[in-house]
Structures are given as structure tokens and as C-alpha cells.
Amino acid sequence: MAHRLQIRLLTWDVKDTLLRLRHPLGEEYATKARAHGLEVEPSALEQGFRQAYRAQSHSFPNYGLSHGLTSRQWWLDVVLQTFHLAGVQDAQAVAPIAEQLYDDFSRPCTWQVLDGAEDTLRECRSRGLRLAVISNFDQRLEGILGGLGLREHFDFVLTSEAAGWPKPDPRIFQEALRLAHMEPVVTAHVGDNYLCDYQGPRAVGMHSFLVVDPQALDPVVRDSVPKEHILPSLAHLLPALDCLEGSSPGL
């Protein structure tokens, strides 16, 4: 007779799973620009950021650590390129804005805890579950989580900057398992990105859940993920864990 599966460790994505920006990114950038005498449309900055971030991530993955960059310099370059794409050609004028934005995004007050996040973390701990973070983030994450009162819930916080590999690279999940002294079969990951937070952990034998509106998923993705693995909100997590633990290992 098969033993009943028992999840012992939950690992968590952070951005858009537990936290989000308090204000849209384009508005944050435009507000700081205005304080320095530059008027730029938030929508142009939002679009510019998406393009700049994608290009920087492609050219210099994981904050350019393997290219000799620091995460701070990586982000300053992203901001400079964002404003350039939004029509601001004067890099000298943008440089102090980039510095200010980097510092502002380090502050907990720039972020907000998503509804249900703290209650869910507390309920998970009350069940005896160990919790940890696996996030494609830089060194600022510890301070942000601490300032928002969430750090105390986690045994450790593993960022892609500290690990040297971003999700969905299997090595970041394997490093988390090593730090926790856990086998993948008793570990589940929770996040909002299909590739990074659902497929990535499964590639190393972990379980995983997607916290996302099912209707927002690409239909092909939605059809490939069992319905019980899709959580419309964090309130669905513990019932989903009960369902998972009620099944036989490996099923």
C-alpha cells in the first residue's frame, strides 16, 4: 500500500505572487522624471521598459553577473535605455533619475503585499510547513520582505543573483533543495509564471502550482496544466495541497 504523500516544504515566487508594485511602473518612472524636470508619458515609459528589460535580459542574463556587471549597474542601464526608448536622448539628465529609481525600488513602501498573502503564509506555517523563497530578483529582496513583515515566514530567501542562475534553470531549484535538506517529492513551488514557476520546478521532480486567473492563461498552456494545479487566488492553495496529498506519490 502506497504511503500518503506529505508536502514538507513550500517554495515561493515573490513578484506578482506575494508582492506587487504599489503603483504601475510607468507612473513611478514618470513621477521621478517630473521631479527632475522631465515630462514623459507613463505609457511610453511602460512600453520602453518592457523592450529594455527584454533586451537587457537577453544580452546580459541574470543581471549580467557572468559579464562582470553588478545588479545595480544592470538596472541603471535598463532605466537609461527605457528613457531612451521613450524619447529622452539626454543620458546625463536621466542618470540621477535612474539612481533615484534604483533606491526607491529598494524601499518596502514602493511595494504592497497582495491580498491573502500574509494569511496564507501564516496558515502554511501553522500546518508545520517549511517555507522558502526562490525568486528571480536581486540583493534588495531581503530588505523588501523584511520591511513588509514577510521575511520572518521564510527559512531562507534564494535569489537568482545569489544562486547564479535564474528560474527556470534547474540548478536554482536544486540549490534550494540542498539548502533545505529536502527531497523534491515532498516539495512544492508556488508562483505565477508558467515556465519559471510551473515547468521549472517540475523538471527537477518538485510539485508546483500556478497562482493565476485561468482565463488569463494562453489556452494551450491552460489545457496542459491540470485544473487542480491552477489557483485563481492564494486562498485556493491549502485546499489544493490537501488534494495533492490525498493522491498517491508520483500521480
For 33-88, how does the pLDDT look when each residue is reduced to its tens digit (9 = 90+)? 999 999 999 999 999 999 999 999 999 999 999 999 999 999 999 999 999 999 99
Distance CA 237, CA 134 (A): 17
Distance CA 214, CA 57 (A): 27
Tell whether the torsion through CA atoms of 49, 51, 52 and 54 is positive or negative.
positive
Q: What is the average pLDDT value for the chain, to the nearest integer?
A: 95
Distance CA 146, CA 64 (A): 26
Distance CA 233, CA 216 (A): 13
Q: What is the per-residue pLDDT for 3?
A: 63
- Percent of the chain topping pLDDT 90: 94
Distance CA 46, CA 43 (A): 5
What single-letter DSSP state applies at residue 15? B
